[in-house]
Amino acid sequence: MGLTPRQFYRVHRFNEVLRLLESDSLVHWADIALTCGYYDQAHLIHDFQAFVGLAPGEYLSQRSIYSHHIPFSD
């Protein structure tokens, strides 16, 4: 199963979000959104829920439980 260029870009951009979350203990969602090329924080949250199945705040509160795990559904 391949990815379209748009899908690949979304996955790549979201991977950058996860990398930034690992490197910083204090999260500023608007800054992360702009740094990673999102139009605004709402678009980041939309992708976050699509890829992870959790709101960003929920993910942060559970991140030690799910370290390096992102559930993808078919």
- For 14-71, write each residue's pLDDT tens digit: 999 999 988 867 889 999 999 999 999 999 999 999 999 999 989 888 876 555 565 5
Architecture of domain 5-62 in this structure: Orthogonal Bundle (1.10)
> Pick from 32, 12, 10: which is nearest to 21 by CA?
32
E runs forming strands in the chain: none
Give the count of alpha carbons within 13 A of 1, CB side only.
2
pTM for the full predicted model = 0.76
- Give the other-Cβ count within 10 Å of 17's Cβ: 22
Where do the domains of the chain lie?
A: 5-62
DSSP string, 45-62: HHHHHHHHSS-HHHHHHH
